Structure 1
Protein backbone atom coordinates (compact mmCIF):
# COMPACT_ATOMS: atom_id res chain seq x y z
CA UNK A 1 0.00 0.00 0.00
CA UNK A 2 1.27 3.48 -0.87
CA UNK A 3 2.00 5.55 2.23
CA UNK A 4 -0.56 8.19 1.32
CA UNK A 5 -3.29 5.56 1.41
CA UNK A 6 -2.59 5.08 5.10
CA UNK A 7 -3.80 8.64 5.69
CA UNK A 8 -7.28 7.70 4.43
CA UNK A 9 -9.67 5.73 6.65
CA UNK A 10 -10.12 2.08 5.72
CA UNK A 11 -13.88 2.59 5.33
CA UNK A 12 -13.14 5.01 2.49
CA UNK A 13 -10.45 2.87 0.88
CA UNK A 14 -12.85 -0.08 0.76
CA UNK A 15 -15.70 1.85 -0.93
CA UNK A 16 -13.92 4.05 -3.49
CA UNK A 17 -11.17 3.98 -6.08
CA UNK A 18 -8.61 6.60 -5.07
CA UNK A 19 -5.84 8.42 -6.96
CA UNK A 20 -3.48 10.97 -5.46
CA UNK A 21 -1.88 13.62 -7.69
CA UNK A 22 0.73 16.17 -6.57
CA UNK A 23 0.48 15.07 -2.93
CA UNK A 24 -3.14 16.18 -2.52
CA UNK A 25 -3.82 13.72 0.30
CA UNK A 26 -0.75 14.82 2.22
CA UNK A 27 -1.72 18.50 1.82
CA UNK A 28 -5.32 17.87 2.82
CA UNK A 29 -4.56 15.72 5.85
CA UNK A 30 -1.77 17.90 7.22
CA UNK A 31 -2.68 21.46 6.19
CA UNK A 32 -6.48 21.39 5.97
CA UNK A 33 -7.33 19.00 8.78
CA UNK A 34 -10.94 20.08 9.31
CA UNK A 35 -11.79 20.12 5.60
CA UNK A 36 -10.16 16.72 5.16
CA UNK A 37 -12.20 15.30 8.04
CA UNK A 38 -15.41 16.69 6.54
CA UNK A 39 -14.64 15.23 3.12
CA UNK A 40 -13.80 11.82 4.59
CA UNK A 41 -16.97 11.85 6.72
CA UNK A 42 -19.04 12.87 3.69
CA UNK A 43 -17.63 10.03 1.59
CA UNK A 44 -18.24 7.63 4.47
CA UNK A 45 -21.90 8.69 4.79
CA UNK A 46 -22.60 8.94 1.06
CA UNK A 47 -24.87 6.19 -0.24
CA UNK A 48 -26.79 5.54 -3.43
CA UNK A 49 -29.63 3.25 -4.34
CA UNK A 50 -30.18 1.40 -7.59
CA UNK A 51 -33.12 3.70 -8.30
CA UNK A 52 -30.72 6.68 -8.29
CA UNK A 53 -28.86 5.06 -11.16
CA UNK A 54 -31.85 3.96 -13.22
CA UNK A 55 -33.75 7.27 -12.95
CA UNK A 56 -33.82 9.69 -15.85
CA UNK A 57 -31.57 12.74 -15.85
CA UNK A 58 -27.87 13.53 -15.80
CA UNK A 59 -25.95 15.73 -13.42
CA UNK A 60 -29.21 16.95 -11.84
CA UNK A 61 -30.08 13.45 -10.70
CA UNK A 62 -30.32 12.30 -7.09
CA UNK A 63 -26.62 11.44 -6.94
CA UNK A 64 -25.27 15.04 -6.88
CA UNK A 65 -28.25 16.07 -4.76
CA UNK A 66 -27.27 13.50 -2.14
CA UNK A 67 -23.71 14.82 -2.06
CA UNK A 68 -24.99 18.39 -1.77
CA UNK A 69 -27.21 17.39 1.15
CA UNK A 70 -24.08 16.33 3.01
CA UNK A 71 -21.71 19.18 2.06
CA UNK A 72 -23.90 22.30 1.82
CA UNK A 73 -24.85 22.35 5.54
CA UNK A 74 -21.13 22.32 6.37
CA UNK A 75 -20.51 25.51 4.40
CA UNK A 76 -19.26 24.08 1.11
CA UNK A 77 -20.62 26.53 -1.47
CA UNK A 78 -20.56 26.83 -5.25
CA UNK A 79 -17.95 29.45 -6.07
CA UNK A 80 -17.10 31.33 -9.25
CA UNK A 81 -13.82 33.12 -9.85
CA UNK A 82 -13.57 36.36 -11.84
CA UNK A 83 -10.79 38.88 -12.29
CA UNK A 84 -9.26 41.63 -14.41
CA UNK A 85 -5.61 41.75 -15.42
CA UNK A 86 -3.68 44.98 -14.94
CA UNK A 87 -0.80 45.26 -17.43
CA UNK A 88 2.11 47.65 -16.78
CA UNK A 89 4.91 48.41 -19.25
CA UNK A 90 8.21 49.52 -17.71
CA UNK A 91 10.75 51.21 -19.99
CA UNK A 92 14.32 52.41 -19.67
CA UNK A 93 16.99 51.45 -17.17
CA UNK A 94 15.21 52.50 -13.99
CA UNK A 95 11.82 50.94 -14.78
CA UNK A 96 10.42 52.41 -11.57
CA UNK A 97 7.25 53.89 -13.02
CA UNK A 98 5.14 52.38 -15.79
CA UNK A 99 5.21 54.14 -19.11
CA UNK A 100 1.87 52.63 -19.92
CA UNK A 101 -0.78 50.84 -17.95
CA UNK A 102 -4.02 49.25 -19.05
CA UNK A 103 -6.53 46.68 -17.88
CA UNK A 104 -7.82 43.54 -19.57
CA UNK A 105 -11.35 43.21 -18.24
CA UNK A 106 -12.72 39.74 -17.48
CA UNK A 107 -9.32 38.14 -18.00
CA UNK A 108 -10.58 35.39 -15.70
CA UNK A 109 -14.27 34.67 -16.08
CA UNK A 110 -16.86 31.94 -15.83
CA UNK A 111 -14.92 29.27 -13.92
CA UNK A 112 -17.06 27.62 -11.23
CA UNK A 113 -16.51 24.78 -8.78
CA UNK A 114 -19.41 23.02 -7.05
CA UNK A 115 -18.10 23.04 -3.48
CA UNK A 116 -15.44 25.37 -2.09
CA UNK A 117 -14.54 25.95 1.55
CA UNK A 118 -11.42 27.79 2.58
CA UNK A 119 -8.57 26.67 0.34
CA UNK A 120 -10.13 23.34 -0.66
CA UNK A 121 -12.44 22.63 -3.61
CA UNK A 122 -14.62 19.60 -4.35
CA UNK A 123 -16.40 18.78 -7.61
CA UNK A 124 -18.60 15.91 -8.73
CA UNK A 125 -19.18 14.70 -12.26
CA UNK A 126 -21.72 11.89 -12.33
CA UNK A 127 -23.08 11.63 -15.87
CA UNK A 128 -22.20 14.58 -18.08
CA UNK A 129 -20.46 14.62 -21.43
CA UNK A 130 -16.81 13.74 -20.94
CA UNK A 131 -15.71 17.17 -22.25
CA UNK A 132 -16.99 18.52 -18.94
CA UNK A 133 -13.77 17.23 -17.39
CA UNK A 134 -11.80 19.77 -19.44
CA UNK A 135 -13.88 22.57 -17.97
CA UNK A 136 -13.51 21.20 -14.44
CA UNK A 137 -9.75 20.71 -14.63
CA UNK A 138 -9.27 24.18 -16.08
CA UNK A 139 -11.36 25.58 -13.22
CA UNK A 140 -9.23 23.77 -10.62
CA UNK A 141 -6.12 25.05 -12.39
CA UNK A 142 -7.35 28.64 -12.44
CA UNK A 143 -8.40 28.63 -8.77
CA UNK A 144 -5.03 27.09 -7.86
CA UNK A 145 -2.85 29.41 -9.93
CA UNK A 146 -4.69 32.44 -8.55
CA UNK A 147 -3.97 31.30 -5.00
CA UNK A 148 -7.62 30.69 -4.10
CA UNK A 149 -7.23 26.97 -3.37
CA UNK A 150 -4.26 24.79 -2.53
CA UNK A 151 -5.80 21.45 -3.52
CA UNK A 152 -8.97 19.85 -4.82
CA UNK A 153 -11.06 16.70 -4.82
CA UNK A 154 -12.74 15.45 -8.00
CA UNK A 155 -15.36 12.71 -7.69
CA UNK A 156 -16.66 10.64 -10.61
CA UNK A 157 -17.77 7.13 -11.54
CA UNK A 158 -15.48 4.15 -11.21
CA UNK A 159 -15.30 1.74 -14.13
CA UNK A 160 -16.48 -0.92 -11.69
CA UNK A 161 -20.00 0.52 -11.84
CA UNK A 162 -20.33 -0.99 -15.31
CA UNK A 163 -21.29 -4.26 -13.64
CA UNK A 164 -24.28 -2.51 -12.07
CA UNK A 165 -25.25 -0.87 -15.36
CA UNK A 166 -25.18 -4.26 -17.10
CA UNK A 167 -27.46 -5.68 -14.42
CA UNK A 168 -29.95 -2.82 -14.74
CA UNK A 169 -30.36 -3.34 -18.48
CA UNK A 170 -29.68 -1.91 -21.89
CA UNK A 171 -31.29 1.52 -21.40
CA UNK A 172 -29.27 2.21 -18.25
CA UNK A 173 -26.05 0.96 -19.83
CA UNK A 174 -26.69 3.17 -22.85
CA UNK A 175 -27.27 6.23 -20.65
CA UNK A 176 -23.93 5.76 -18.90
CA UNK A 177 -21.95 5.39 -22.11
CA UNK A 178 -18.23 5.59 -22.79
CA UNK A 179 -18.43 9.26 -23.81
CA UNK A 180 -19.77 10.37 -20.42
CA UNK A 181 -17.88 11.35 -17.27
CA UNK A 182 -16.16 8.34 -15.73
CA UNK A 183 -12.67 7.53 -14.51
CA UNK A 184 -11.41 6.28 -17.86
CA UNK A 185 -12.06 9.70 -19.39
CA UNK A 186 -10.62 11.65 -16.46
CA UNK A 187 -7.26 10.05 -15.72
CA UNK A 188 -5.71 10.58 -19.20
CA UNK A 189 -6.59 14.27 -18.96
CA UNK A 190 -4.85 14.54 -15.59
CA UNK A 191 -1.80 12.67 -16.87
CA UNK A 192 -1.71 15.26 -19.68
CA UNK A 193 -1.51 17.95 -16.95
CA UNK A 194 -4.71 19.69 -17.93
CA UNK A 195 -5.13 20.54 -14.26
CA UNK A 196 -1.92 22.56 -14.40
CA UNK A 197 -0.36 20.79 -11.44
CA UNK A 198 -3.14 21.56 -8.96
CA UNK A 199 -2.96 18.83 -6.29
CA UNK A 200 -5.96 16.56 -6.79
CA UNK A 201 -7.48 13.66 -4.90
CA UNK A 202 -9.55 11.75 -7.45
CA UNK A 203 -12.36 9.60 -6.06
CA UNK A 204 -14.16 6.88 -8.01
CA UNK A 205 -17.66 5.90 -6.90
CA UNK A 206 -17.92 2.08 -6.83
CA UNK A 207 -20.73 -0.48 -6.33
CA UNK A 208 -19.82 -0.56 -2.63
CA UNK A 209 -21.59 2.79 -2.22
CA UNK A 210 -24.95 1.33 -3.36
CA UNK A 211 -26.96 0.31 -0.30
CA UNK A 212 -29.29 -2.15 -2.08
CA UNK A 213 -26.70 -3.70 -4.43
CA UNK A 214 -26.14 -7.35 -3.58
CA UNK A 215 -23.59 -8.13 -6.24
CA UNK A 216 -26.06 -9.69 -8.67
Structure 2
Protein backbone atom coordinates (compact mmCIF):
# COMPACT_ATOMS: atom_id res chain seq x y z
CA UNK A 1 0.00 0.00 0.00
CA UNK A 2 1.55 3.30 -1.18
CA UNK A 3 4.85 1.57 -1.99
CA UNK A 4 5.85 4.18 -4.59
CA UNK A 5 5.20 7.04 -2.15
CA UNK A 6 7.11 5.33 0.65
CA UNK A 7 10.04 4.86 -1.72
CA UNK A 8 10.12 8.63 -2.27
CA UNK A 9 10.16 9.33 1.46
CA UNK A 10 6.48 10.11 2.04
CA UNK A 11 5.25 9.53 5.57
CA UNK A 12 2.16 7.34 5.72
CA UNK A 13 0.36 6.65 8.97
CA UNK A 14 -2.97 4.96 9.73
CA UNK A 15 -5.18 5.26 12.81
CA UNK A 16 -8.34 3.52 14.03
CA UNK A 17 -8.29 0.70 11.45
CA UNK A 18 -7.99 3.10 8.51
CA UNK A 19 -5.54 0.76 6.76
CA UNK A 20 -7.96 -2.17 6.79
CA UNK A 21 -10.94 -0.01 5.79
CA UNK A 22 -9.11 1.58 2.88
CA UNK A 23 -7.60 -1.70 1.72
CA UNK A 24 -10.90 -3.57 1.69
CA UNK A 25 -13.52 -0.95 0.88
CA UNK A 26 -11.61 1.77 -1.00
CA UNK A 27 -9.03 0.33 -3.41
CA UNK A 28 -9.97 2.97 -5.98
CA UNK A 29 -9.38 5.74 -3.45
CA UNK A 30 -5.95 4.31 -2.66
CA UNK A 31 -5.05 4.23 -6.35
CA UNK A 32 -6.20 7.83 -6.87
CA UNK A 33 -4.34 9.04 -3.79
CA UNK A 34 -1.15 7.37 -4.94
CA UNK A 35 -1.50 8.78 -8.45
CA UNK A 36 -2.15 12.36 -7.36
CA UNK A 37 0.40 12.47 -4.56
CA UNK A 38 3.00 10.72 -6.70
CA UNK A 39 2.89 13.66 -9.11
CA UNK A 40 3.46 16.33 -6.46
CA UNK A 41 6.32 18.66 -7.35
CA UNK A 42 6.96 22.07 -5.79
CA UNK A 43 9.56 24.42 -7.33
CA UNK A 44 11.80 26.15 -4.78
CA UNK A 45 10.66 29.49 -6.23
CA UNK A 46 7.19 28.74 -4.84
CA UNK A 47 8.58 27.78 -1.45
CA UNK A 48 10.24 31.18 -1.21
CA UNK A 49 7.86 33.34 -3.16
CA UNK A 50 4.32 32.28 -2.28
CA UNK A 51 2.79 35.08 -0.27
CA UNK A 52 -0.73 35.88 0.86
CA UNK A 53 -3.40 33.37 -0.02
CA UNK A 54 -3.01 29.77 -1.07
CA UNK A 55 0.34 28.60 -2.44
CA UNK A 56 0.43 27.68 -6.13
CA UNK A 57 1.63 24.15 -5.35
CA UNK A 58 -1.38 23.60 -3.12
CA UNK A 59 -3.67 24.85 -5.86
CA UNK A 60 -2.14 22.41 -8.35
CA UNK A 61 -2.65 19.58 -5.86
CA UNK A 62 -6.27 20.61 -5.30
CA UNK A 63 -6.90 20.72 -9.05
CA UNK A 64 -5.47 17.22 -9.39
CA UNK A 65 -7.78 15.88 -6.69
CA UNK A 66 -10.73 17.72 -8.24
CA UNK A 67 -9.98 16.06 -11.58
CA UNK A 68 -10.31 12.65 -9.91
CA UNK A 69 -13.66 13.52 -8.32
CA UNK A 70 -12.42 14.68 -4.90
CA UNK A 71 -14.62 17.77 -4.73
CA UNK A 72 -15.43 20.39 -2.10
CA UNK A 73 -18.54 19.33 -0.20
CA UNK A 74 -20.71 20.92 2.45
CA UNK A 75 -22.28 18.46 4.89
CA UNK A 76 -25.40 19.66 6.67
CA UNK A 77 -26.61 17.69 9.68
CA UNK A 78 -30.13 18.66 10.66
CA UNK A 79 -32.17 17.56 13.66
CA UNK A 80 -35.97 17.71 13.64
CA UNK A 81 -38.69 17.35 16.22
CA UNK A 82 -42.07 16.28 14.80
CA UNK A 83 -40.86 17.32 11.37
CA UNK A 84 -39.84 20.79 12.50
CA UNK A 85 -36.16 21.74 12.02
CA UNK A 86 -34.65 22.57 15.41
CA UNK A 87 -30.90 22.44 14.89
CA UNK A 88 -28.60 22.48 11.89
CA UNK A 89 -24.81 22.13 11.78
CA UNK A 90 -22.69 22.42 8.63
CA UNK A 91 -19.23 21.05 7.98
CA UNK A 92 -17.32 21.90 4.79
CA UNK A 93 -14.54 19.63 3.57
CA UNK A 94 -12.28 20.66 0.68
CA UNK A 95 -12.01 17.23 -0.96
CA UNK A 96 -14.63 14.49 -0.72
CA UNK A 97 -14.72 11.31 -2.79
CA UNK A 98 -18.05 9.50 -2.87
CA UNK A 99 -18.21 5.87 -3.96
CA UNK A 100 -21.16 3.49 -4.56
CA UNK A 101 -23.40 2.74 -1.56
CA UNK A 102 -22.66 6.27 -0.27
CA UNK A 103 -19.21 5.29 1.01
CA UNK A 104 -17.20 8.49 1.50
CA UNK A 105 -13.56 9.46 2.06
CA UNK A 106 -12.84 13.06 3.16
CA UNK A 107 -9.51 14.81 2.64
CA UNK A 108 -7.92 18.09 3.74
CA UNK A 109 -4.61 19.62 2.61
CA UNK A 110 -2.77 21.67 5.22
CA UNK A 111 0.35 22.95 3.47
CA UNK A 112 1.12 26.04 5.57
CA UNK A 113 -1.72 27.20 7.77
CA UNK A 114 -1.66 28.00 11.46
CA UNK A 115 -1.54 24.71 13.35
CA UNK A 116 -5.02 25.08 15.00
CA UNK A 117 -6.43 24.21 11.56
CA UNK A 118 -5.53 20.61 12.44
CA UNK A 119 -7.98 20.78 15.37
CA UNK A 120 -10.71 22.00 13.02
CA UNK A 121 -10.08 19.26 10.46
CA UNK A 122 -9.87 16.43 12.99
CA UNK A 123 -12.97 17.55 14.89
CA UNK A 124 -14.89 17.83 11.62
CA UNK A 125 -13.84 14.32 10.66
CA UNK A 126 -14.82 13.02 14.09
CA UNK A 127 -18.33 14.51 13.93
CA UNK A 128 -18.92 13.45 10.33
CA UNK A 129 -17.78 9.90 11.09
CA UNK A 130 -20.01 9.75 14.18
CA UNK A 131 -22.98 10.77 12.01
CA UNK A 132 -22.13 8.12 9.40
CA UNK A 133 -21.30 10.75 6.76
CA UNK A 134 -17.70 9.61 6.11
CA UNK A 135 -15.78 6.37 6.48
CA UNK A 136 -12.22 7.72 6.60
CA UNK A 137 -10.55 11.11 6.97
CA UNK A 138 -7.27 11.99 5.21
CA UNK A 139 -4.89 14.85 6.04
CA UNK A 140 -1.96 15.83 3.81
CA UNK A 141 0.70 18.13 5.29
CA UNK A 142 4.43 18.85 5.29
CA UNK A 143 6.37 15.81 6.47
CA UNK A 144 9.28 15.76 8.91
CA UNK A 145 12.00 15.76 6.22
CA UNK A 146 10.42 18.69 4.41
CA UNK A 147 10.04 20.67 7.63
CA UNK A 148 13.57 19.88 8.83
CA UNK A 149 15.21 20.42 5.43
CA UNK A 150 13.42 23.69 4.70
CA UNK A 151 16.31 25.95 5.88
CA UNK A 152 18.80 23.98 3.78
CA UNK A 153 16.53 24.18 0.73
CA UNK A 154 16.08 27.94 1.12
CA UNK A 155 19.81 28.35 1.80
CA UNK A 156 20.56 26.58 -1.48
CA UNK A 157 18.13 28.89 -3.25
CA UNK A 158 19.86 31.94 -1.72
CA UNK A 159 23.31 30.71 -2.71
CA UNK A 160 22.28 29.82 -6.26
CA UNK A 161 20.70 33.28 -6.60
CA UNK A 162 23.84 34.79 -5.02
CA UNK A 163 21.91 36.71 -2.39
CA UNK A 164 24.40 38.65 -0.30
CA UNK A 165 22.34 41.52 1.08
CA UNK A 166 18.79 42.65 1.74
CA UNK A 167 19.07 44.67 -1.46
CA UNK A 168 19.43 41.38 -3.36
CA UNK A 169 16.37 40.01 -1.55
CA UNK A 170 14.38 43.11 -2.44
CA UNK A 171 15.49 42.79 -6.06
CA UNK A 172 13.56 39.51 -6.14
CA UNK A 173 10.44 41.44 -5.18
CA UNK A 174 10.45 40.34 -1.55
CA UNK A 175 9.99 43.01 1.12
CA UNK A 176 11.57 42.01 4.45
CA UNK A 177 10.31 43.87 7.49
CA UNK A 178 12.63 45.88 9.76
CA UNK A 179 12.36 43.11 12.35
CA UNK A 180 13.39 40.47 9.81
CA UNK A 181 16.31 42.62 8.68
CA UNK A 182 17.41 43.09 12.27
CA UNK A 183 17.14 39.35 12.91
CA UNK A 184 19.34 38.55 9.90
CA UNK A 185 21.94 41.07 11.07
CA UNK A 186 21.81 39.61 14.58
CA UNK A 187 22.46 36.09 13.27
CA UNK A 188 25.40 37.35 11.20
CA UNK A 189 26.87 39.25 14.11
CA UNK A 190 26.36 36.50 16.68
CA UNK A 191 27.85 33.57 14.76
CA UNK A 192 29.59 35.01 11.74
CA UNK A 193 27.09 33.27 9.48
CA UNK A 194 26.98 34.18 5.82
CA UNK A 195 24.12 36.34 4.64
CA UNK A 196 22.50 33.43 2.77
CA UNK A 197 22.60 31.23 5.89
CA UNK A 198 21.24 33.93 8.18
CA UNK A 199 18.50 34.99 5.77
CA UNK A 200 17.40 31.38 5.15
CA UNK A 201 17.05 30.72 8.90
CA UNK A 202 15.09 33.92 9.48
CA UNK A 203 12.88 33.34 6.45
CA UNK A 204 12.01 29.77 7.44
CA UNK A 205 11.41 30.66 11.09
CA UNK A 206 8.92 33.32 10.02
CA UNK A 207 7.16 31.49 7.20
CA UNK A 208 7.45 27.78 8.02
CA UNK A 209 7.92 27.94 11.77
CA UNK A 210 6.87 25.63 14.57
CA UNK A 211 3.36 27.11 14.85
CA UNK A 212 2.42 26.25 11.24
CA UNK A 213 0.85 23.04 9.94
CA UNK A 214 3.42 20.26 9.67
CA UNK A 215 3.77 16.62 10.71
CA UNK A 216 4.87 17.08 14.31
CA UNK A 217 1.97 19.44 15.07
CA UNK A 218 -0.45 16.94 13.53
CA UNK A 219 1.14 14.11 15.48
CA UNK A 220 0.71 16.09 18.72
CA UNK A 221 -3.05 16.25 18.11
CA UNK A 222 -3.29 12.56 17.25
CA UNK A 223 -1.46 11.56 20.43
CA UNK A 224 -3.90 13.67 22.46
CA UNK A 225 -6.80 11.83 20.86
CA UNK A 226 -8.13 14.70 18.75
CA UNK A 227 -10.36 13.23 16.05
CA UNK A 228 -10.55 9.81 17.69
CA UNK A 229 -12.20 7.39 16.88
CA UNK A 230 -12.53 8.45 13.22
CA UNK A 231 -10.31 6.24 11.01
CA UNK A 232 -7.50 8.47 9.73
CA UNK A 233 -4.86 8.36 7.01
CA UNK A 234 -2.05 10.88 7.52
CA UNK A 235 0.31 11.77 4.68
CA UNK A 236 3.52 13.77 5.11
CA UNK A 237 5.08 15.36 2.03
CA UNK A 238 8.87 14.76 1.93
CA UNK A 239 11.64 17.19 0.99
CA UNK A 240 12.05 15.21 -2.26
CA UNK A 241 8.97 16.97 -3.69
CA UNK A 242 10.92 20.25 -3.87
CA UNK A 243 12.65 20.89 -7.20
CA UNK A 244 15.22 23.45 -8.35
CA UNK A 245 14.25 23.43 -11.99
CA UNK A 246 13.56 26.85 -13.55
CA UNK A 247 9.90 27.83 -13.59
CA UNK A 248 8.49 28.06 -17.11
CA UNK A 249 6.86 31.48 -17.68
CA UNK A 250 4.45 29.95 -20.18
CA UNK A 251 3.07 27.33 -17.79
CA UNK A 252 -0.26 28.51 -16.29
CA UNK A 253 0.22 26.21 -13.31
CA UNK A 254 3.68 27.52 -12.44
CA UNK A 255 4.22 31.19 -11.74
CA UNK A 256 7.48 33.06 -11.46
CA UNK A 257 8.75 34.23 -8.07
CA UNK A 258 7.44 37.77 -8.42
CA UNK A 259 4.03 36.49 -9.55
CA UNK A 260 3.70 34.65 -6.26
CA UNK A 261 4.34 37.62 -3.97
CA UNK A 262 1.59 38.89 -1.66
CA UNK A 263 -0.47 41.80 -2.88
CA UNK A 264 0.54 45.24 -1.59
CA UNK A 265 -1.47 46.61 1.31
CA UNK A 266 -3.13 49.24 -0.86
CA UNK A 267 -4.52 46.56 -3.19
CA UNK A 268 -6.14 44.71 -0.30
CA UNK A 269 -7.50 47.97 1.12
CA UNK A 270 -9.24 48.76 -2.17
CA UNK A 271 -11.11 45.46 -2.06
CA UNK A 272 -12.26 45.86 1.53
TM-score, with structure 1 as normaliser: 0.81
Please list every run of at least 4 consecutive aligned residues from structure 1 whose deviation after the TM superposition is greater than 4 angstroms: none
1:117 Cα shift?
A: 0.8
- Does residue 114 (structure 1) correspond to residue 94 (structure 2)? The answer is yes
What secondary structure is seen at the aligned counterpart in 1 of 2:42? coil
Match in the other structure for 1:23: 17
1:159 Cα shift?
A: 2.4
Q: Report if the CA contact (8 A) 2:137-2:231 is conserved.
A: yes
Hey, what's the Cα distance between the residues in 1 that align with 2:151 and 2:243? Answer: 17
Q: Tell me: higher relative CO, structure 1 or 2? Use CA pairs within 8 A at least 6 residues apart.
A: 2
1:196 Cα shift?
A: 2.8
Match in the other structure for 1:144: 129
Larger radius of gyration: 2
- Report which stretch shifted further, 163-172 or 19-28: 163-172
Matched ranges for 1:8-19 at <5 A: 8-9=2-3, 11-14=4-7, 15-19=9-13
Matched ranges for 1:1-216 at <5 A: 7-9=1-3, 11-14=4-7, 15-57=9-51, 60-87=54-81, 103-106=85-88, 108-109=89-90, 111-118=91-98, 119-167=104-152, 168=154, 169=200, 170-212=202-244
Hey, what's the Cα distance between the residues in 2 that align with 1:77 and 1:186? Answer: 23
Hey, what's the Cα distance between the residues in 1 that align with 2:14 and 2:53? Answer: 24
1:131 Cα shift?
A: 0.7
- Give a deviation string over 1:147-169, Cα, whole Å, max 9, x none: 11111210111122234421211
Of Structure 1 and Structure 2, the greater strand share is in: 1
The 3 A distance-change label for structure 1 pair 33 and 212 is same
Alignment gaps of 5+ in structure 2: 99-103, 155-199, 246-272
Alignment gaps of 5+ in structure 1: 1-6, 89-100
1:126 Cα shift?
A: 0.7
Hey, what's the Cα distance between the residues in 2 that align with 1:150 and 1:201? Answer: 11
